[in-house]
């Protein structure tokens, strides 16, 4: 009999901050989650998993238990990559989460990981996520800050993913920061034979600056990577987002999809697929909607160097079409309802292979933005 | 039901409809004939309230209320509906989602109605994306079934539709216009643009009007006018009627 997960205790959270945590998909009551990790600033508040064969540990505990996690630590992301990685690598007391799905295990209910920034400072985390041979691991990561972070703060997050043979990881990240927070995730994944890596990113709320360019290296044969990003940028938000897939194994395929809306903020949408082996396929798609003057700068890159790699990209930036709005108005929706319905459709990206609970969570955070009138 | 008086309409700087007068009573269905570019679709878009069609003179009254200055959704909410000849594709917006948005009925009814026009498999598809001619028209009819307007405008409902679909669409349109009801009990009215007249087999039209160069040139029995046009073409037909 699996143990029942216990509710996450977070005495420091005020009512409004609890709501903010819920908005990024974190269920403190643990109703539809099988495990949880909660880090507030640099303190690990909760780390537990009730699913057999899956461990949720703090970085520190994992280091002790698995002799420094040498096989994984700094193996996907280089500590010398940039100032952010150097800063995290130089920490004497690193924290973060380590989630290991041991051979053959799987979780139907996702594990939730919440990184919460409550004080003016730099929160740094180092996360390692491993799905061993044949394992299937679903994670929702909610990142948010407290109502009163004062002059601001920053979040530096290293995440290293290892998808072993025949394994699968889905990682859904929902951000709800605020106008004074800077965010620098640095993540990379290594996918082995027949492995599947799904990465979903949702950010509907203001942020001062976010800069990330997660990379999946598809080393093994018949590997799959799918990245999807759904973002809205409000005035004052600067979002430099990208995703990269390196296709090394025969039969590897990647799909990188972005839906970007600016309401006055900046979005730089990068994408890069590198087809290094014959029999690989990749598609990159970025669609942008400019609702108010701002910037959407799409930089799709496809790079093929061998016969037998097939890569394509599609990028479009535009405005809401008047004929589409009027079409819905002729069915009885007023202009605002028609506009919201079209935007909701624009953001509706269905991710193949994602458990229903996670798709619902993504839909819910977009619904939340819709209710607020986008 | 619908009363149009001395209507003049501009698109951009150009007047495209001149002095249109039309009276469609409750329970009546009228047919609008005329060569391509004569202004038929413009008239329907103007009645629906699309912003690019600006009324410079005259008025449109619906059920006794002046709707001339109303926006499209206000007219739709009062009971005006339209089947588009070439509706836009809306990327990402699923047909089912749109139907839920416009519906006041329950989702089960949507599924049931969708089945009746063979559109149940399209509810999870983006609206009109990759739809064939027949599928577009079935989707339009389905939207109207859910909207359930009192006055239905149909812009070439049979264009791009194969014979099998014409029967399905024609029957559904007939029922939108309550054609199965006795004349006296019919409350719904319609205005239909057709070139082929195939749709007339299903809607039992009451009156026909011929439009040319932005004006309604003549009125009469729709089948007779259509017969004239088929035999002699629009040019001669209009000359004949003016004699």
Per-residue pLDDT of chain A (374 residues; tens, 9 = 90+): 456 677 777 667 777 888 888 888 888 888 888 999 999 899 998 899 988 999 999 999 999 999 989 999 999 999 999 999 999 999 999 999 999 999 999 998 899 999 999 887 899 999 999 999 999 999 999 989 887 677 789 999 999 999 999 999 999 999 988 889 999 999 999 999 999 999 999 999 899 999 999 999 999 999 999 999 999 999 999 999 999 999 999 999 999 999 999 999 999 999 999 999 999 999 999 999 999 999 999 999 999 999 999 999 999 999 999 999 999 999 999 999 999 999 999 998 888 788 888 888 888 888 888 888 77
Write out the DSSP string of B206-243: -EEEEEETTEEEEEE-HHHHHHHHHHHHHHHHHHHHH-
Model pLDDT, residue B243: 45
**Exposed / middle / buried, residue B105 (Cβ in 10 Å: 0-12, 13-18, 19+):** middle
B90 touches chain A (CB under 8 A): yes
Taking alpha carbons only, the member of B210, B218, B215 closest to residue B194 is B210
Tell me the fold of B2-242. Answer: Rossmann fold (3.40.50)
Q: Between chains, do A346 and B93 touch, taking CB under 8 Å as contact?
A: yes
Q: Between chains, do B147 and A331 touch, taking CB under 8 Å as contact?
A: yes
B238: closest CA of chain A, how far (Å): 33
Q: Between chains, do A322 and B51 touch, taking CB under 8 Å as contact?
A: yes
| Contact list, A348 vs chain B (CB under 8 Å) | 92-94, 97
- State whether ipTM is beyond 0.90: yes
Q: Are residues A1 and A126 in the same domain?
A: yes
Q: Are B61 and B67 in contact (CB under 8 A)?
A: yes
Across chain B, what does the average pLDDT equal? Answer: 91
Q: A83: domain range? A: 1-193
Q: Are B2 and B47 in contact (CB under 8 A)?
A: yes
Note which residues in 20-59 of chain B have CB less than 8 A from chain A: 48-51
Q: Are residues A298 and A315 in the same domain?
A: yes
| Contact list, A337 vs chain B (CB under 8 Å) | 101
| Contact list, A327 vs chain B (CB under 8 Å) | 84, 87-88, 90
Q: Are residues A105 and A173 in the same domain?
A: yes
Q: Are residues A290 and A339 in the same domain?
A: no
- Name the closest residue on chain B to residue A338, using Cα atoms: B101
Q: Between chains, do A332 and B76 touch, taking CB under 8 Å as contact?
A: yes
Q: Are residues A223 and A184 in the same domain?
A: no
Interface of A with B (CB under 8 A): 259, 287, 321-324, 326-335, 337-338, 341-342, 344-349
Q: Are residues A250 and A346 in the same domain?
A: no
Q: Between chains, do B97 and A344 touch, taking CB under 8 Å as contact?
A: yes
Nearest to B73 among A324, A332, A345 (CB): A332
Q: Are residues A12 and A146 in the same domain?
A: yes
B82 touches chain A (CB under 8 A): yes
Model pLDDT, residue A11: 61
Rounded to whole angstroms, what are the CA distances from A184 to A143, A339, B26, B62?
12, 33, 65, 59
- Strands B14-24 and B2-11 turn out to be antiparallel
Q: Give the residue with greater pLDDT, B137 vs A14.
A: B137
A344: closest CA of chain B, how far (Å): 7
Q: Are residues A355 and A232 in the same domain?
A: no
B205: closest CA of chain A, how far (Å): 24
Among residues A303, A319, A335, which one ends one of the domains?
A319
Among residues A319, A343, A365, which one ends one of the domains?
A319
Q: Are B242 and B213 in contact (CB under 8 A)?
A: no
| Contact list, B88 vs chain A (CB under 8 Å) | 321, 323-324, 327
Nearest to B88 among A259, A324, A331 (CB): A324
Residue A148 forms part of a structural domain: yes
Residue A143 forms part of a structural domain: yes
Q: Between chains, do A326 and B84 touch, taking CB under 8 Å as contact?
A: no
Q: What is the DSSP letter of A351?
A: P
What are B177-229's pLDDT values in tens digits? 998 888 888 899 999 999 888 898 898 899 999 999 999 988 999 998 888 88
Question: How many Cβ pairs within 8 Å bridge chains A and B?
Answer: 76
Residue A343 forms part of a structural domain: yes
Q: Between chains, do B90 and A345 touch, taking CB under 8 Å as contact?
A: yes
- Beta-carbon contacts of A84 under 8 Å, excluding residues fewer than 6 positions away, are A156, A158, A184, A186
Q: Are residues A299 and A228 in the same domain?
A: yes
d(CA B217, CA B215): 6
Mutate to test the interface with B, among A261, A315, A317, A332 (most CBs of B within 10 A): A332
Model pLDDT, residue B237: 66
For chain B, the structural domain boundaries read: 2-242
Angle (deg, nearest 10), helices A356-371 and A335-346: 150
- Name the closest residue on chain B to residue A342, using Cα atoms: B93
Model pLDDT, residue B126: 95
A330: closest CA of chain B, how far (Å): 5
Model pLDDT, residue A3: 62
| Contact list, A326 vs chain B (CB under 8 Å) | 50-51, 72
> What mean pLDDT do residues B15-24 have?
96
Residue B75, token pair as written in the block: 């007219």
Nearest to B90 among A259, A337, A342 (CB): A342
- Name the closest residue on chain B to residue A322, using Cα atoms: B51
Nearest to A345 among B75, B94, B102 (CB): B94
Q: Between chains, do B97 and A341 touch, taking CB under 8 Å as contact?
A: yes
Q: Between chains, do A333 and B101 touch, taking CB under 8 Å as contact?
A: yes
Residue A54 forms part of a structural domain: yes
Rounded to whole angstroms, what are the CA distances from A35 to A2, A103, A358, B138?
12, 18, 14, 48
Strand locations in B64-212 (E): 65-66, 80-83, 90-94, 126-127, 151-155, 189-193, 207-212
Q: Does pLDDT of B21 surpass 70?
A: yes
d(CA A41, CA A242): 26
Q: Does pLDDT of B56 surpass 80?
A: yes
Structural domains in chain A (count): 3
Mutate to test the interface with B, among A330, A339, A366 (most CBs of B within 10 A): A330
Q: Which residue bears the tokens 């028209």?
A: B137
| Contact list, B71 vs chain A (CB under 8 Å) | 329, 334-335
Helices within A193-351 (DSSP H only): 322-329, 335-346
Taking alpha carbons only, the member of A98, A105, A100, A227 closest to residue A170 is A227
Q: Are residues A286 and A142 in the same domain?
A: no
Number of Cβ within 10 Å of residue B212's Cβ equals: 19
d(CA B67, CA B49): 9
- pTM, two decimal places: 0.88
Residue A344 forms part of a structural domain: yes
- Name the closest residue on chain A to residue B45, using Cα atoms: A330
- Name the closest residue on chain A to residue B98, using Cα atoms: A341
B81: closest CA of chain A, how far (Å): 7
Nearest to B92 among A322, A327, A346 (CB): A346
Rounded to whole angstroms, what are the CA distances from B145 to A19, B155, B174, B228?
41, 16, 11, 33
- Name the closest residue on chain A to residue B49, using Cα atoms: A330
d(CA B163, CA A53): 61
Model pLDDT, residue B150: 96
d(CA A197, CA A217): 10
Q: Are residues A228 and A180 in the same domain?
A: no
Q: Are residues A52 and A162 in the same domain?
A: yes
């Amino acid at each position: 009999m699996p143990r029942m997960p216990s509710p996450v205790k977070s005495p420091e959270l005020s009512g409004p901050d609890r709501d903010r945590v819920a908005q990024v998909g974190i269920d403190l009551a643990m109703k539809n989650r099988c495990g949880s990790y909660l880090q507030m600033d640099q303190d690990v508040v909760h780390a537990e998993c009730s699913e057999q064969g899956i461990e949720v540990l703090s970085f520190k505990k994992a280091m002790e238990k698995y002799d420094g996690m040498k096989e994984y630590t700094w193996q996907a992301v280089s500590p010398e990559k940039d100032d952010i990685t150097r800063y995290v690598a130089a920490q004497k007391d690193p924290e973060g989460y380590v989630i290991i799905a041991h051979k053959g295990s799987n979780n139907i209910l996702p594990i939730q990981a919440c990184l919460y920034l409550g004080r003016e400072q730099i929160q740094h985390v180092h996360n390692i996520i491993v799905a061993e041979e044949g394992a299937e691991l679903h994670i929702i990561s909610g990142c948010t800050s407290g109502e009163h972070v004062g002059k601001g703060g920053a979040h530096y997050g290293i995440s290293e993913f290892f998808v072993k043979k025949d394994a699968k990881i889905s990682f859904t990240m929902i951000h709800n920061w605020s106008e004074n927070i800077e965010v620098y995730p640095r993540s990379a994944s290594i996918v082995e034979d027949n492995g599947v890596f799904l990465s979903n990113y949702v950010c509907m709320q203001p942020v001062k600056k976010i800069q990330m360019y997660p990379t999946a290296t598809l080393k093994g044969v018949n590997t799959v990577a799918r990245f999807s990003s759904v973002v809205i940028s409000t005035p004052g938000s600067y979002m430099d987002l990208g995703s990269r897939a390196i296709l090394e194994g025969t039969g590897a395929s990647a799909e990188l999809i972005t839906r970007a809306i600016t309401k006055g903020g900046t979005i730089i949408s990068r994408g890069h697929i590198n087809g290094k082996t014959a029999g690989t396929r990749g598609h990159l798609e970025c669609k942008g909607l400019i609702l108010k003057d701002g910037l959407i700068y799409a930089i799709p890159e496809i790079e093929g160097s061998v016969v037998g790699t097939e890569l394509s990209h599609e990028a479009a930036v535009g405005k809401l079409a008047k004929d589409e709005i009027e079409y819905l108005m002729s069915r009885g929706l007023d202009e605002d309802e028609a506009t919201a319905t079209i935007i909701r459709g624009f953001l509706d990206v269905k991710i193949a292979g994602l458990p229903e609970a996670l798709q619902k969570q993504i839909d819910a955070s977009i619904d939340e933005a819709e209710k607020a009138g986008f | 039901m619908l009363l149009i008086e001395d209507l003049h309409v501009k698109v951009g700087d150009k007047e495209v409809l001149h002095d249109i007068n039309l009276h469609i009573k409750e329970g009546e269905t009228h047919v609008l004939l005329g060569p391509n570019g004569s202004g038929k679709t413009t008239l329907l878009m103007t009645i629906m309230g699309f912003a690019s069609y600006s009324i410079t003179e005259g008025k449109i009254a619906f059920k006794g209320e002046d709707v001339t200055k109303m926006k499209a959704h206000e007219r739709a909410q009062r009971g005006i509906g339209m089947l588009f000849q070439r509706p836009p594709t809306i990327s990402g917006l699923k047909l089912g989602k749109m139907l839920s948005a416009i519906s006041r009925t329950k989702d089960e009814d949507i599924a049931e109605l969708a089945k009746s026009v063979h559109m149940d498999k399209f509810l999870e598809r983006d609206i009109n994306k990759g739809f064939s001619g027949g599928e577009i028209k079935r989707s339009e009819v389905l939207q109207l079934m859910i909207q359930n307007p009192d006055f239905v405008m149909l812009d070439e409902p049979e264009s791009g539709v194969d014979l099998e679909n014409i029967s399905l669409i024609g029957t559904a349109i007939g029922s939108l216009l309550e054609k199965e009801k006795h004349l006296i009990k019919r409350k719904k009215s319609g205005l239909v643009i057709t070139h082929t007249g195939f749709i007339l087999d299903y809607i039992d039209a009451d009156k026909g009007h011929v439009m040319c160069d932005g004006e309604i040139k003549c009125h009469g029995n729709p089948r007779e006018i259509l017969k004239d046009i088929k035999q002699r073409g629009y040019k001669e037909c209009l000359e004949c009627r003016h004699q």
